[in-house]
Amino acid sequence: MFGDDIAAIATAPGEGGIAIIRLSGNEVINKISRVFQPHLADVNIKERKTHTLTLGWIVDRNGEKIDEVLLGIMRAPASYTSEDVVEINCHGGTLPARKCLERVLELGVRLAEPGEFTRRAFLNGRLDASQAEAVIEVIRAKTEKGLKLAMSQLTGKNRQLIDSLEERLLALNAMLEASLDFPDDVGEPDYDEFEQSLKEILLNIDKLLEAGQRADIYREGISIAICGKPNVGKSSLLNALLRKEKAIVSSIPGTTRDIIEDYVNVKGIPVRLMDTAGIRLTEDLVERIGVERAQEVIDNADLVIFLLDLGAGISDEDIEIFKKIEKKNIIVLLNKEDLEEKRLSEEDLNKLFSRVKTIRASIKEDIGLAELEESIENIVLSGKLRTDGLEIIINLRQKNALMRAKKHVEDTLALLGEMPLDCLDVDIWGAVEALGEISGKNLKEEVIDRIFQDFCIGK
């Protein structure tokens, strides 16, 4: 428990149905009773049970009503912070929320710092460090898949996996210490068993790191550039994938002169989709700038969709564009498959694009788009689709801690049978302490500060 009481607006600014002012601390229920006037005169807020709502008004120093509100009471330890928590549900809008907060701060309650409610939940033991970090992952999730992974972390899956590794390491440590303390009775540890356990621990750490790498894709997403010469259907493809009319579609070449982009969910992967200007030599100054920007976007994209027109065949322009992008991750989309007459033979395709994925499609008839989405998923995940059911988020701090634990385990394996037992014990403990940083057992104050610095005020 902390000695002071804090408050902040917990909802986003702007107009809405409600706004919430959150308070936490030992005295918040007593303090709020001084400015809250229940509708029913016989209701005493100080005596209200936990997890109850009470209708009334927040009043100013003169007893004038500021706003009609619902007051939520959550008593310790059954609250978000494990302290007494009060939530004022006032009318949505900047002014009602600000006036209610100002009145609360007059009671000797201070304004909360960014992430301080979640920080208190961590320091009071309701959340471990990985669960606290999951809160920001939930807020920032861009797809249902990303949200599912964040919720898995919030409910403690990371902690369970790390606790399992810690228990195995502690068992090995106990084996070493028994041999050190009682050499005559216990003797040397079973090195074969010891080595097997270390290898299994190492394998599990690698699985966690690999799963975390997969999850990064669902958290951070990828960028995809759509490119090709003018009038091959790039803007139509953007609109089809977004399922809305984002880009102007015209039969006039050079209609798109700047980068048009939007976000789309492809198989749970957040994708920043970018429609680029048709790449060609042009005397038009504005179009030429668009072509230069298109090339820059293509260079920086994680994946490129290269469009070809089956009705027009392959031109010198197409070949020149492909030469500029062939070293990137590419999907060649052969548009206008619905045409009866095509000017692109299988022989030409095999000769030019034997090493890249090609998809026959008709954007107009919605042919090949499902295959395109599947190909995007497979390329992004490098074909290593999940087989072990392990789905976790590993952020950079947690990854570094896992890498240190892995190094300690590798060092123990390398020295097994060659170094004294007490030297092995040092590395085992090093691995345990590194894993403890993930759950927050061994965190320094400055690391805790970094965890919560990106949180918004009120969370």
Find, among 224, 234, 223, the residue nearest to 308 by Cα: 234
Q: Is residue 340 a part of any domain in this protein? A: yes
Could you tell me the residue range of the domain that residue 432 belongs to?
133-217+395-452
Find, among 227, 459, 454, the residue nearest to 335 by Cα: 227
Q: Is residue 390 a part of any domain in this protein? A: no
Same domain, 239 and 327: yes
Find, among 101, 73, 98, 76, the residue nearest to 87 by Cα: 73
Q: Is residue 362 a part of any domain in this protein? A: yes
State CA 346 to chain mean position distance. Answer: 42
Q: Is residue 434 a part of any domain in this protein? A: yes
Same domain, 86 and 166: no
Which strands form 260-266's sheet, in the order they lie side by side?
A: 260-266, 269-275, 222-227, 303-309, 330-335, 357-360
The domain that holds 257 is classified in CATH as 3.40.50.300
Same domain, 276 and 328: yes
Per-residue pLDDT of the chain (459 residues; tens, 9 = 90+): 568 999 999 998 888 899 999 999 999 999 999 999 999 989 999 999 999 999 999 999 999 999 999 999 999 999 999 999 999 999 998 899 999 999 999 999 999 999 999 999 999 999 999 999 889 888 888 888 888 888 988 888 888 999 999 999 998 888 877 776 676 665 666 778 888 999 999 999 999 998 888 788 887 788 888 888 877 888 888 888 887 665 444 444 444 445 788 888 888 888 888 887 655 545 555 556 666 677 788 888 888 898 888 888 888 888 888 888 888 888 988 888 878 677 777 777 777 887 888 888 888 888 999 999 899 888 887 754 444 557 788 888 899 999 999 999 999 888 887 766 677 778 888 999 999 998 888 777 887 887 887 788 778
Q: Is residue 428 a part of any domain in this protein? A: yes
- Site of tokens 């798109």: 256
Same domain, 373 and 415: no
The domain that holds 107 is classified in CATH as 3.30.1360.120
Q: Is residue 117 a part of any domain in this protein? A: no
Q: Is residue 457 a part of any domain in this protein? A: no
Same domain, 343 and 229: yes
**CA-based radius of gyration for the chain:** 30
Same domain, 83 and 19: yes
Same domain, 229 and 336: yes
Same domain, 308 and 360: yes
Whether the Cβ atoms of residue 253 and residue 231 lie closer than 8 Å to each other: yes
Find, among 114, 223, 207, 129, the residue nearest to 164 by Cα: 207
State CA 273 to chain mean position distance. Answer: 19
Same domain, 63 and 194: no
Same domain, 213 and 237: no
Same domain, 241 and 329: yes
Q: Is residue 13 a part of any domain in this protein? A: yes
- What are the C-alpha distances in Å from 41 to residues 35, 53, 68? 14, 15, 15
Same domain, 255 and 354: yes
